[in-house]
Amino acid sequence: MASTSKEDRAATTEDAAVDAENWIDVEVRTALDAGELLGVLNDPHVTGAWQEEDRVHLYWPASRCGPDTWRALTWALTQLGHADGDRAMTINQLADQDWNAQWSRLVEPVRIGRVLIRPSWKQVLLNEGDIELIIDPKQAFGTGHHATTQLLIEWLQQVVRPGDRVLDVGTGSGVLAMVAVRLGATEAMGVDLDAVAVDCAREYAQVNGFDGRLTLAVGQAQGTEPRDTFQPNLVLANLDRQTLLACAENLCAYAVGGARLLLSGLLVEQRPEIEAAYASRGVYVKHVRERDGWLALEATGMETCDGDVCS
């Protein structure tokens, strides 16, 4: 998940052409944490967020927000105990170049274990064995700064083995799929509903010199598109509560077939609902990691006494 965006955003190619011209920047005067606000808002069309002192900025493509958006945001602020939520908001329109300039000045290199992610204009001294990825902020986020992305990158450094085939559902910038390949996976596929995100991810892959072991494609998280042709043994899904529920059947099919799931994009209080939905399909959470109120879960299909996954 990049910055605090949700990786499986609903956008069509036509919408993306409109969004390239106009963005909505909603400035909220609040001491609330941006991640907490996003979790309660649970709007898949929010494309990014950043926090600066007593301000939280939330970004929407202009074609994806309106009166319902403001009502939902006011409700979320009220749920978090913020009085007069509607009076705390200032709504601004940004041109595409201003949008990118906002992010460019904020993004700094980030280190997660051996993985160093940096924008192209920032140089960082590497240690032996480091994995470096150059990712400049664009309309599809995935710069490694959000807790959910960091949790999964940390986990990948412990679980990826040579020969692994990795599927990254809701790939966004493709950063998780790229890390998996750099860690030794034989092949990785990243899929995302957002065509703009996939185009950006392909640019990042080219800049970082990836070869045919990495495939990036437009596809729905809850669809069936990869399963007939790509058989992963590790599936990543850094999404949001709503999307993890919507694509539970498809993700669980991978797990029942023997793949390990690494799920993220969840707030702590959302865990019971996700666990119940996946358990009802024969998939159970084995390990949990937490950072800044966000969770990452490892889930697998039920094991028999022989240790084989049920099918």
pLDDT digits (tens, 9 = 90+) for 28-44: 888 777 767 877 787 76
Confidence of residue 172 (pLDDT cuts 50, 70, 90): confident
Q: Count Cβ atoms within 10 A of the Cβ of residue 70 and give its class: 0-12 exposed, 13-18 middle, 19 or more buried.
A: middle
pTM: predicted TM-score of the whole model, two decimal places:
0.74
| Residue 104 main-chain phi, psi, to 5 deg | -60, -35
Average pLDDT rounded to a whole number, residues 179-206: 92
Q: In this predicted structure, what is the pLDDT of residue 31?
A: 78
Taking the C-alpha atoms of residue 277 and residue 283, their distance in angstroms, rounded to an integer, is 9
Res 1 pLDDT > 60: no
pLDDT of residue 141: 56
| CB distance 176 to 162 below 8 Å | no
Q: Is the pLDDT of residue 227 over 60?
A: no
Alpha-carbon gap, residue 286 to 72, rounded angstroms: 34
pLDDT reading at 137 higher than 80: no
Is the pLDDT confidence value at 17 over 60? no
With a cut of 90, say whether residue 278 has pLDDT above it.
Answer: yes
Q: Is the pLDDT of residue 83 over 50?
A: yes
pLDDT value at residue 244: 93
- pLDDT of 101: 67
Enumerate domains of the chain plus CATH numbers: 13-104 (3.30.70.980), 123-301 (3.40.50.150)
Identify the pLDDT of residue 209.
Answer: 97
